[in-house]
Amino acid sequence: MTLPIYQIDAFTDALFAGNPAAVVPLERWPADSVLQAIAAENNLSETAFFAPDREGVADYRLRWFTPTIEVELCGHATLAAGWLILNRLEPRRRKVRFATMAGPLTVSRPDGEEGEKVALELDFPARPATQLPMPKGVADALGKRPSAFWLATKYMAVFDDPAHIRALKPDLDWIKALPRGDGLIVTAPGDESGVDFLSRYFAPHAGINEDPVTGSAHCTLAPYWAERLGKTALTGHQVSRRGGLVGCRLEAGRVTLSGMARLYLTGEIHVDA
């Protein structure tokens, strides 16, 4: 079986920045073991696979795999898949609907905007966090004690010093051993013009020591910073080595994420399936 593959840098307007995602369009679903093997071979944070939704609930069924596991929600690979459909595969569309493990998601082009160099909008669920007691060993693992520790689907450690976030070298074994949650977000107030907050995200349990830019983390970051800053439209800067900007807008229990993307690679996969 020969499959097309695209690699797209998401949440950036420049190549070699943002978060690279592989995107594989399908006509039918191969075995899950094949999907996982392709994702492992790609060795990116996520590989997105989509196929026509035969149930008619959405336009496509969308799934995401890290090199080691299938994940329930992924922002940057959704942006990459949406960018591919809206700009290359079906350029007359302005919106694409996906059925996913996390429920219905959409990627759309804002009204009046045209072309590939446009920030697309992602309709995602808001996932507010609940504050927890400080876990044992947190100061040693993260270099200092956070001002607060939270959990939604991901843990989140809040710091007051942006410089600490930028320089952080966490104990990944400690993060991997956390008893619940899907990795750890660290965040602090923004220290740049036009940026409301900084973040980084570590997911060693999923084979990703540090994710370059994480849309799903902003489903928790956006509600937290919106309440703290008293505003519903924000800009986050994920300050990994590659880095990327994520626009966030809260509306009725949902988060609209926005970001740009750039096509890096096209090719073919040859697999037995």
Query: CA 14 to CA 105: how far, in whole Å?
Result: 25
Q: Is 46 one of the catalytic residues? A: yes
Between CA 237 and CA 245 the distance in angstroms is: 5
- Containing 269, the helix (H) or strand (E) segment is strand 261-270
135: CB partners within 8 A, 6+ apart: 149, 178
**Residues 90, 108 contacting (CB under 8 angstroms):** no
Residue type, 216: S
Q: Give the 3-state secondary structure of residue 23.
A: strand
**CA geometry: angle 154, 159, 160, nearest 5 deg:** 150
Hey, what long-range contacts does 107-115 have (CB within 8 A, 24 or more apart)? 107/78, 107/79, 107/81, 107/82, 107/83, 108/82
Q: Which of 27, 46, 70, 227 is catalytic?
A: 46
Residues classed as catalytic: 46
